[in-house]
């Protein structure tokens, strides 16, 4: 894979899970990392992991649903490293499981605020800088829930369909300006989010692996590192003709 030496990469929600694995992978490829999360201890731990491996990273707290936080995040990346070459908009929440008619308004609002509005605000700030810089790459974290429905998760499904729509539009609007925007759609991945959903769905009777392994044709859930590998590749020059792509990384889930 083409290396990222000297390039600056921003990863939101990188205090754990897919975001952390992605930050570590970019750092191993030589990038300067801007680690961001609403949870400070997790973000600082990711930075410490990168530093212990000999990489470069800084942490900046941000709530991606707040315009001021997002503006400060991108500005902080540029102030620290002089540029922003790649961004990964990963921050997101799953919310509560319930049939659509029983969903609480505040659950819907919270999910859309973080997953949809957060991605929107990040895209705006990142693209504005990349236009001035002459290009860049952005990978948005959607989900297989952005491709198909999941009973009980209407707000989450809506939010991830929104992410896919924004990805396609941003790609069409800014591809000729040298900004490549793509999205990945993870299936069941071994993360805190999947653990939360399994806890809600089975009242703790099954682990996320026990619940989800049989649903994937590959026979298992994935790892954050497997998603990170795809994200980093999409951000590299090896994926130079990828634009507006919506790529499942799901063990065959949506092929069924």
Domains in the chain with CATH codes: 8-187+222-248 (3.40.50.720)
Alpha-helical regions (H) of the chain = 17-28, 40-52, 67-81, 105-111, 118-133, 154-174, 192-202, 208-212, 224-235
pLDDT of 194 reads: 87
Helix (H) or strand (E) holding 182: strand 179-186
Q: Who's near 54: CB < 8 A, 6+ residues apart?
A: none
CB 31 within 8 A of CB 9: yes
The model's pTM is 0.96
Catalytic residue among 81, 120, 156, 174: 156
What is the CA angle 131-34-68, rounded to 5? Answer: 65
pLDDT digits (tens, 9 = 90+) for 157-197: 999 999 999 999 999 999 999 999 999 999 999 898 888 88
156 part of the active site: yes
Quote the CA–CA distance of 26 and 230 in Å, as a whole number: 11
pLDDT digits (tens, 9 = 90+) for 23-36: 999 999 999 999 99
């Amino acid at each position: 894979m083409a290396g990222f030496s000297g390039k600056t990469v921003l990863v939101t929600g990188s205090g754990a899970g897919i975001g952390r694995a992605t930050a570590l992978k970019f750092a191993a490829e030589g990038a300067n990392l801007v680690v961001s999360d609403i949870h400070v201890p997790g973000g600082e731990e990711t930075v410490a992991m990168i530093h212990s491996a000999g990489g470069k990273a800084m942490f900046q707290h941000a709530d991606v649903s707040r315009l001021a936080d997002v503006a400060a995040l991108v500005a902080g990346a540029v102030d620290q490293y002089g540029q922003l070459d790649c961004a990964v908009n990963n921050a997101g929440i799953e919310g509560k499981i319930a049939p659509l008619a029983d969903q609480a308004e505040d659950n819907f609002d919270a999910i859309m605020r973080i997953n949809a509005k957060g991605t929107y605000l990040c895209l705006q700030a990142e693209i504005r800088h990349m236009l001035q810089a002459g290009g860049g790459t952005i990978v948005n974290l959607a989900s297989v829930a952005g491709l198909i429905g999941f009973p009980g998760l209407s707000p989450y499904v809506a939010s991830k369909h929104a992410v896919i729509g924004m990805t396609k539009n941003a790609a069409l609007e800014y591809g000729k300006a040298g900004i490549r925007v793509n999205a990945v759609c993870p299936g069941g991945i071994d993360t805190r989010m999947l653990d939360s959903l399994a806890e809600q769905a089975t009242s703790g009777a099954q682990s996320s692996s026990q619940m989800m392994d049989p649903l994937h044709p590959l026979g298992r859930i994935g790892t954050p590192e497997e998603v990170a590998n795809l994200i980093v590749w999409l951000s590299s020059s090896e994926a130079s003709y990828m634009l507006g792509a919506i790529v499942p990384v799901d063990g065959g889930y949506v092929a069924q």
